[in-house]
């Protein structure tokens, strides 16, 4: 019998629950500390997906703890659903990069604004690149698959930084410096 179909966000929560019971808050913090660099999950999504997973019998709610927090545990059905999900072909990538949307419609920006946005983005990618490089050093031996995701992040930030260098600014010569 096939398990209920789950989306990638729900599946990621099941993946985190493999390590033990977690509250919605714990799951939100785990997401922010790890996969948020490449998979956007809001706090409201965490709680919405937990309700759905509970209704499907893939997680169960534990006893209320301190500050009214209730831990969720993955059920055997949840483990099967996750196993089916993780073994599937991932499918086509989903690209949602706000900067690309801004650049696509940059003709509507006031003069100089794209250059300001690009500089802010550059600073953010320089910082993220430094964090990813440090993270890669820490996890290479202990978590080789996580290290591979981090290595992808390094390449991504390096690529964006190179791309930003040649981005037209809409002014005189059209190339940002």
**Position 177 in a domain:** no
Assess whether 13 and 62 both reside in one domain.
Answer: yes
User: Is the domain of 160 the same as that of 107?
Assistant: yes
* 57 and 15 part of one domain: yes
Q: Are residues 82 and 59 in the same domain?
A: yes
Residues 131 and 69 both lie in one domain: no
Identify the pLDDT of residue 170.
61
Predicted confidence at residue 141, as pLDDT, reads 84
Is residue 8 within a helix (H) or strand (E), and if so which, with residue range?
helix 8-17
Q: Kindly state whether residues 44 and 23 are assigned to the same domain.
A: yes
End-to-end C-alpha distance for the chain, whole angstroms:
59
- Cα separation, 93 vs 101, in Å, equals 17
Report the pLDDT averaged over residues 41-53.
Answer: 95
Model's pTM, two decimal places?
0.78
By the 8 A CB rule, do 72 and 78 touch? Answer: no
At 14, which CATH number? 1.10.10.10
Buried b (16+ CB within 10 A) or exposed e, 35-56: bebeeebeeebbeebbebbeeb
18 and 69 housed in the same domain: yes
- What pLDDT, in 10s, does the model give residues 60-110? 998 877 777 889 999 999 999 999 999 999 989 888 889 999 999 999 999
For residues 83 and 12, state if they share a domain.
yes
Q: Which residues pair with 61 in a beta bridge?
A: 72
> How many structural domains are present in the chain?
2
- More confident of the two residues 171 and 115: 115
End position of a domain, from candidates 44, 68, 87: 87
Q: Are 32 and 96 in contact (CB under 8 A)?
A: no
Residue 26 lies in a domain: yes
Residue 93 lies in a domain: no
Q: Encoding tokens for residue 116?
A: 């300001």
Clarify whether residues 81 and 110 are in a common domain: no
Average pLDDT for 146-174: 86
Q: Which domain holds residue 153?
A: 98-165
78 and 12 fall within a common domain: yes
Is there a domain that residue 3 lies in? no
Residue 12 makes CB contacts below 8 A (sequence gap 6+) with 31, 35, 39, 41
Confirm whether 134 is domain-assigned. Answer: yes
Asked whether residue 56 falls in the same domain as residue 17, the answer is yes
139 located within any domain: yes
Over range 135-147, report the average pLDDT.
Answer: 89
Q: Please give the distance of CA 176 from its chain centroid, rounded to a whole number.
A: 29
How many angstroms separate the CA atoms of 152 and 163, rounded? 16
């Amino acid at each position: 019998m096939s398990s209920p179909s789950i989306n990638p966000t729900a599946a990621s929560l099941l993946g985190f629950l493999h390590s033990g019971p977690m509250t919605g808050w714990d799951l939100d913090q785990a997401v922010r500390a790890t996969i948020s660099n490449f998979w956007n999950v809001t706090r409201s999504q965490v709680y919405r997906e937990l309700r759905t997973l509970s209704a499907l019998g893939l997680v169960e709610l534990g006893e209320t703890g301190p500050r009214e927090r209730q831990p969720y545990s993955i059920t055997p059905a949840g483990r099967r659903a996750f196993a089916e999900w993780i073994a599937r072909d991932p499918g086509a990538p989903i690209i949602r990069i706000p900067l690309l949307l801004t650049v696509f419609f940059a003709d509507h920006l006031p003069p100089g604004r794209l250059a300001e946005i690009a500089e802010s983005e550059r600073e953010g990618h320089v910082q993220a690149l430094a964090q990813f490089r440090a993270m890669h050093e820490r996890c290479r031996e202990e978590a080789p698959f996580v290290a591979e995701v981090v290595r992808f992040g390094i390449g991504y930030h390096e690529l964006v930084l190179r791309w930003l260098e040649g981005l037209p600014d809409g002014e005189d010569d059209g190339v940002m410096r």
